[in-house]
Structure 1
Amino acid sequence: MERIDIHCHAVPPGYRQHALDNGHEKPDGMPALPAWSPEAHIALMDKLNITKSILSITSPGTHLGPTQTTSDAVKVTRQTNEELSAICAAHPSRFGFFASLPLPCVAESVAEIDSALDTLGAVGFAVLSNAHGVYLGDEALDPVFAKLNARKAILFIHPTTCNFLSGGRVEAAKPLPTYPRPMMEFMFDETRAVANLLLSGTVARYPDITFIMSHCGCALPSLIDRIGGFASLLSAGKEGDKSEEYRKLLRERFFFDLAGFPFPNQIHGLLRMLGDDGRKRFVYGTDYPFTPEKVVVGLAEQLDQGCEEIFGDDERTAVYSGNARRLLGF
């Protein structure tokens, strides 16, 4: 069955060197930046019948540190977007890309949006759950979201290390430092970001942005009723429980990639949160190369088995490729 991979990454040479120069040889506690090349990626795609992969830069993004100057962050972002654009131009039938933004730099991110879409051919944007402690949904980022809304953009959200601002400095939260943050902390941080997007009203205010939440909704399905219920407490009960309003926004405005470990358990919480039409919002993802090829192949087999148990043939076709075609306008 044909697959379209919405959640996968590139580590091209220029970006790799920028990351290493800024101390990210073991990003987010992972063992190393993985090896990557277009040729190796296409070989994996052929093995799994992936016809198209949408490349993106993952954590730590292109604004590579709180001490990096704005001009350096803008330069790295532009160079990396150009690098991905060139890879896609060399393999137009196999790759597209989500462009990066130099968040939390607001004016510079707004400027990058038009360039990425109109000059470089990006199909949307990849943003991290927080940018050096500034979380998606923060009012400081409203001009960026207004611009994305005006361009009817797709926004792919990827988790990163939890960062917080303390005394004017950015501090990285590293509970249980023995384990790499992608194992658990990433799931909590993206949940935190999407909760803030809902609670702040950002999703409702900008109706022409289409969001992609990664990793099967992370921890959101388990917390959505608590988040919606607390919204009433925060407004002194004036607005009532907002859980159903938030679920409606998630059903109508979000897609959810199945990268990671959706089976045998996680996907059922997401289906329950979204309802019967939720399966129309699922898209395939591998998280390659940060998930190694051998694991990607094993997870694909696990996904096949799980999807056969709960989805019909037409639904599986939609999950693997049809929903992505609708999302991206292919």
Structure 2
Amino acid sequence: MATTPSGSLANTNSDKSNAARYIDVHAHVFPDFYEAALKRAGINDVDGWTYPKWSPEAMFKAMDDHKIEAQLLSVSSPGISFAEGDDAKQLARRLNEYMAGLVKEHSPRLGSMAILPLPDVEASLAEIEYAFDTLDMDGVGIISNYNGVYLADAKIAPVLEELNRRKAVAFVHPTIPPGWRSFAVDIPAPVMEYIFDSTRMAQQLVSSGAKAKFPDIAIIVCHGGGTLPISHQRLVKYWMDGKNQLFDTFYYELTATTEHEQLAALLAMTAPDRCMMGFDFPFMKPDWFDPLQGKLESYGFTPEELKGVIRNNALRLFPKLERRIRES
């Protein structure tokens, strides 16, 4: 197993009396060996976003400074979609062992979601087995499309079938859509294109029937559902004839979507118990965390609803993390 930084970082924020302490379901690792793999592949930024500076020390400092009790770690876009064959399998294994090692060393402050070498189905099934049965990871972290192969594609249905059998959590991070440079504007893709690809991914899962076929996968859609809050009624009423309303069966993570207008639009589509918080470290600056929290906490949730969005909804979805926290 890959080694992790030693010792004293775990449990630096052990006071459990503050009810406003967050469970962060949207947090990324960006270790040196992953950055090196990106550079070897000729990728010098993250879809137009400068490489972030990440370390376990910086991660725990951000958590301690901003009322974050625990984070669920995953790998952001582009994942390992730039690699193929054995290179993809080996990089997925190294990242998963690294994340699992961090969780083991710094429990109960961390959980982890396994990266899969999709769209390679056989390799992904093997990695699911290893991640859950050997590394005891908390879920899987996947991206919205793999070089144009979306999650609803029949080619990867065996992976969804296995995740459904395991009643797994799938955190779906957006990535660039195919051909995006032909219509790109002069801003990094994560600022605009990602939210549209989250929408496209969720819409295809619903309209293809995959969401209904695999109902036991708990799918988390990032960034408040992308543009779904303002487009789902259009999709359902006018394209689906109102017959296939399953968008409220997703879970929604609220990175950069805690403005009151954003929350109102999302909550017209889903319920507070389907929402949970994330902060997108290290891509989002920790200076932004407090304003996001302030907007969320002032929205007008009932105390029970707010506590759910801040921590309890995530702990219900990730029972291994809940148990580690409870037993610590």
Q: Is the shorter-chain TM-score for this pair beyond 0.5, marking a shared fold?
A: yes
- Residue pairs, 1:39-54, within 5 angstroms: 39-54=57-72
1:223 to 224, 231, 243: 231
| Correspondence for 2:6 | none
- The answer as to 2:94 corresponding to 1:79 is yes
| Correspondence for 1:168 | none
- The answer as to 2:77 corresponding to 1:59 is yes
- The answer as to 2:189 corresponding to 1:193 is no
- The answer as to 2:32 corresponding to 1:13 is yes
Residue type matched to 1:9 in 2? H
8 A contact 2:28–2:75 mirrored in 1:
yes
More helix as a share of residues:
1
Following TM superposition, by how much is the alpha carbon of 1:19 offset from its aligned partner in structure 2, in angstroms? 1.7
- The answer as to 2:282 corresponding to 1:293 is no
| Correspondence for 2:85 | 70
Judge which range, 79-88 or 187-196, deviates more: 79-88
**SS across alignment from 1:54:** strand
CA–CA separation in structure 2 for the residues paired with 1:23 and 1:300: 37
8 A contact 2:206–2:247 mirrored in 1:
no
**SS across alignment from 1:176:** coil
Q: What CA deviation, in whole Å up to 9, does each residue of 1:33-58 have, x standing for no partner?
A: 11111111111111122111001000
Residue type matched to 2:72 in 1? I
CA–CA separation in structure 2 for the residues paired with 1:296 and 1:20: 29
- The answer as to 2:260 corresponding to 1:264 is yes
8 A contact 2:258–2:292 mirrored in 1:
no
| Correspondence for 1:153 | 168
| Correspondence for 2:189 | 181
- The answer as to 2:277 corresponding to 1:284 is yes
- The answer as to 2:269 corresponding to 1:273 is yes
The two structures have a TM-score, normalised by structure 1, of: 0.87
| Correspondence for 1:316 | 306
| Correspondence for 1:133 | 148
Residue type matched to 1:79 in 2? R
CA–CA separation in structure 2 for the residues paired with 1:227 and 1:143: 27
- The answer as to 2:324 corresponding to 1:325 is no
Judge which range, 291-300 or 9-18, deviates more: 291-300
CA–CA separation in structure 2 for the residues paired with 1:258 and 1:52: 16
Residue type matched to 1:311 in 2? F
2:122 to 107, 117, 132: 107
Residue type matched to 1:76 in 2? L
**SS across alignment from 2:314:** helix
Distance 1:174 1:116, change over 3 A: farther
Give the aligned CA root-mean-square deviation in angstroms.
1.5
Following TM superposition, by how much is the alpha carbon of 1:303 offset from its aligned partner in structure 2, in angstroms? 2.6
| Correspondence for 1:236 | none
8 A contact 1:129–1:159 mirrored in 2:
yes
Distance 1:291 1:229, change over 3 A: same
Unaligned 5+ segments in structure 2 are 1-19, 323-328
Residue type matched to 2:54 in 1? W
Structure 1 residue ranges, 4+ long, deviating more than 6 angstroms after superposition:
none
1:203 to 211, 214, 221: 211
CA–CA separation in structure 2 for the residues paired with 1:22 and 1:271: 41
Unaligned 5+ segments in structure 1 are 164-170, 233-239
8 A contact 1:73–1:102 mirrored in 2:
yes
Q: What CA deviation, in whole Å up to 9, does each residue of 1:101-131 have, x standing for no partner?
A: 1111111111111111111121001111100
CA–CA separation in structure 1 for the residues paired with 2:302 and 2:124: 42
Residue type matched to 1:214 in 2? C
CA–CA separation in structure 2 for the residues paired with 1:205 and 1:178: 39
The two structures have a TM-score, normalised by structure 2, of: 0.88
| Correspondence for 2:242 | 241
Following TM superposition, by how much is the alpha carbon of 1:147 offset from its aligned partner in structure 2, in angstroms? 0.8
Residue type matched to 1:28 in 2? D
**SS across alignment from 1:122:** coil
Following TM superposition, by how much is the alpha carbon of 1:70 offset from its aligned partner in structure 2, in angstroms? 1.4
| Correspondence for 1:235 | none
CA–CA separation in structure 2 for the residues paired with 1:281 and 1:134: 27
8 A contact 1:174–1:181 mirrored in 2:
no
